[in-house]
Structure 1
């Protein structure tokens, strides 16, 4: 899945890759969690002839998408991930898939190898820092939805699309974020001429050997730990027995944190 990620590149590096105007300064973030603000890139407004405006725009959104039709957010699940295989049909995501596709700058993400039955007293599992082998920024496929709160104010919210894991990640978790290649940025962001069916081919696992998985300590488990120490190499525990658990009546289309 993608329940934590990091963005440690500088604003200049981020702006250069995503074709953005100069970004305001922001610190390296080593442990980004749901409900926190995240940087996303969307297509900019149509350019007028001779305009110097950038083709893309950056915005901060709350990580956890809230569809426009939700009446009470207290009774709505936290949608920080969206399964790409059915997003265009899901009521929660279909409007964003058609009108507000985005790119999420990231230096990598964290995943937890399951450690058996947590309900029987097991631990959360071995965490891994999963980063591109080339060491540079990547773009996760994202969705943005603007939610109008009852008081009249608006809140931009978003989710990260996921896909079944490739062979490099599957031994840790069965899902991974969708990675959009740089040459596909324009097509993914173009919601004016590219319908969801036109970009469906981009919703696939990244090629093998793109990522490397580094075991880290359980410091990353706590949102309060935000320094680079969360990415320091840790000790790999024994391979656990994989146990699949699902609460009675649970809907597999809704994401859990890990």
Structure 2
């Protein structure tokens, strides 16, 4: 599964990196806003971006990448979908839901999503990418005192590049909403069977989406090839560095770059 991750980009920077249109306005909303420590900043240093979050949890507002047609497409002829950066709630709310709920749909199993009522419409035409620096997972271990405990690990690319995970998204309108109110955009991160050394930490992992697959994955006018929903290749898994990190990450209110530092 993927229930916590870190990301250090913002909408404008991400849009520049991948040549996309930035449709994000304002700052992220979260039930547990990141508490970025500002102590220790040298003179002239910039404080962390409000989008920089080392402990992203479900129900947070997160960045996503989609390919969508312009709102007025078709009026003046054929339209090619454009790559766009959008902010969404992490925890997919199906269009038919009567209320938002508690955010339990933050993950979707890649091998069964197309058959699940909550996800199958999104699999057809609302697929996205979720950018992140890396994700956390917990492995069960026995301590020196003989007690079972959960040990946190952080998985990230060894070359420090950014990861993009396959995801699904949805549009939801409250039943009593004003017609002029914007809908809620929400998403879920796809997971697959873990491969390679990642299996030693957890039996599931987020679905890494290599850049050469982006266009086909994001295409709103065609179904995604079935092989894109398969577990990542061993080569992708081998490029992921695994390190044990501090149990401070267990508390969502904790935030900052120290959370991804390896423990000695």
TM-score (norm 2): 0.77
CA distance in 2, matches of 1:106, 1:60: 14
Q: Find the counterpart in structure 1 of residue 223 from structure 2.
A: 195
Q: Find the counterpart in structure 1 of residue 175 from structure 2.
A: 150
Structure 1's 62 and 12: CA in aligned 2 closer, same or farther, altered over 3 A? closer
1:107 to 110, 130, 133: 133
The answer as to whether partners of 1:114 and 1:173 remain within 8 angstroms in 2 is: no
C-alpha displacement at 1:134, in angstroms? 1.6
CA distance in 2, matches of 1:18, 1:149: 33
What is the aligned-residue RMSD (CA, Å)?
Answer: 2.6
C-alpha displacement at 1:150, in angstroms? 2.8
1:201-240 matched pairs, under 5 angstroms: 201-203=227-229, 204-206=231-233, 207=235, 208-235=237-264
CA distance in 2, matches of 1:177, 1:62: 17
| Residue 131 (str. 1) matches residue 156 (str. 2) | yes
TM-score (norm 1): 0.79
CA distance in 1, matches of 2:204, 2:18: 25
CA distance in 2, matches of 1:61, 1:224: 20
| Residue 4 (str. 1) matches residue 7 (str. 2) | no
2:91 to 32, 46, 64: 64
| Residue 181 (str. 1) matches residue 210 (str. 2) | yes
* Worse-superposed segment, 25-34 or 166-175: 25-34
Structure 1's 226 and 54: CA in aligned 2 closer, same or farther, altered over 3 A? farther
Structure 1's 200 and 217: CA in aligned 2 closer, same or farther, altered over 3 A? same
C-alpha displacement at 1:88, in angstroms? 0.6
| Residue 34 (str. 1) matches residue 63 (str. 2) | no
Structure 1's 11 and 73: CA in aligned 2 closer, same or farther, altered over 3 A? closer
Q: How many residues align?
A: 226
C-alpha displacement at 1:11, in angstroms? 4.8
The answer as to whether partners of 2:131 and 2:162 remain within 8 angstroms in 1 is: yes
CA distance in 2, matches of 1:34, 1:72: 16
2:121 to 95, 102, 108: 95
Q: Deviations over 1:36-65 (max 9, x none)?
A: 0010111031678999x9821111111001
Q: Structure 1: which 4+ aligned runs deviate by more than 6 Å?
A: 47-51
